Amino acid sequence: MTAGSEGARSGGLRRHLPLTFGLILLALLWGGPLPFRAGGSFAAYMMHMGVVAVAAPLLAFGIVRSAPTLASHVPGRLALLAAFVEFALVWGWHAPALHDAARESLAFRILEQGSFLFAGLFVWLTALSGHLGADRTGPGASRAAGVASLLVTSMHMTLLGALLLLSPRTLYACADLCAPFATMTPLEDQQLGGAIMLGVGGLAYLAGGLGLLASILVEHAPGAGGRR
């Protein structure tokens, strides 16, 4: 095997690393100890933040790198629609009736987790496709929409996290049935869940939006080799 072919093979493996890590993380989130612990802890139930804010961007980035042709079929102009879909799903599943149903029913829980993954992939793929994939030369409006979708999602994640963190009472009926960590009350468990949403969901989307915005600004900076 020549040095050139070895380098090409190594480069190919590196290209698939984000997708591999995303799939491993998803398997750990859904098949590890968290789903069992989530039955008695609101904070542990926030594993879906790992799905939408960590696994989803890894998977989306991996798809863009591993299958750019496939990613090019995801139009960036749908980014704001994707942000609205994620807003509706995230806030809808955190409504007390639906949240409690998902905690008590396996069928509802599967539907909830699947919709979180769909929403996260929809947002991140539409945001990234115009910046990193074959659609990179697409209209600037699509790339700006990708930035806006991530920043808007960061804001509503932050708002929901703050609501959970600052609420003076438990918001869900399952709090009466939950058995959180021995050192925590159900309200403190809910507050920890809100802090996780703030720290993981809010910051991940904020970092993603600012990162994509920085790439546009650098590309259009005086002396840059990008599009004008």
Question: CB-side exposure of 197: number of CA atoms within 13 Å?
Answer: 28
Whole-number Å distance between alpha carbons of 101 and 94: 10
Q: Is residue 35 part of a domain?
A: yes
Length of the chain, please? Answer: 228
227 lies in some domain? no
Enclosing domain of residue 100: 15-219
Structure tokens at 163: 């609501």
- CA pair distance 42, 36, nearest whole angstrom: 12
What mean pLDDT do residues 33-58 have?
A: 88
Quick check: is 8 in a domain?
no
Mean pLDDT, all residues of the chain: 84
7 lies in some domain: no
Average pLDDT over residues 221-227: 56
Query: Confidence class of residue 228 from pLDDT cuts 50, 70 and 90?
Result: very low
* Whether the predicted pLDDT of 34 surpasses 90: no
Residue 122 in contact with residue 86, Cβ under 8 Å?
yes
Q: Model confidence at 226, in pLDDT bands (50, 70, 90)?
A: very low
Better pLDDT: 228 or 191: 191
- Whether 169 is covered by a domain: the verdict is yes
Over 60: is that where the pLDDT of 128 sits? yes
Q: What is the mean pLDDT of residues 146-150?
A: 94
Q: Is the pLDDT of residue 176 over 70?
A: no
**Domain for residue 38, yes or no?**
yes
pLDDT of residue 154: 96
pLDDT score recorded for residue 199: 92
Range in 63-77, 89-103, 169-183, 194-208 with the lowest mean pLDDT: 169-183
Mean pLDDT of the 176-200 span? 80
* Cα gap 78→59, rounded to integer Å: 18
Burial level of 212, CB count in 10 A (0-12/13-18/19+)? buried
Express as a percent the part of the chain with pLDDT over 90. 49
pTM for this structure?
0.83
**Which whole number is the average pLDDT over 62-78?**
79
Give dist(CA 197, CA 164) in Å, integer. 9
Residue 135, pLDDT score: 45
Number of domains in the chain: 1
What is the C-alpha to C-alpha distance for residues 71 and 127, in angstroms, rounded to an integer? Answer: 11
So what's the pLDDT on residue 162?
96
Query: What is the Cα–Cα distance from 57 to 210, expressed in whole angstroms?
Result: 14
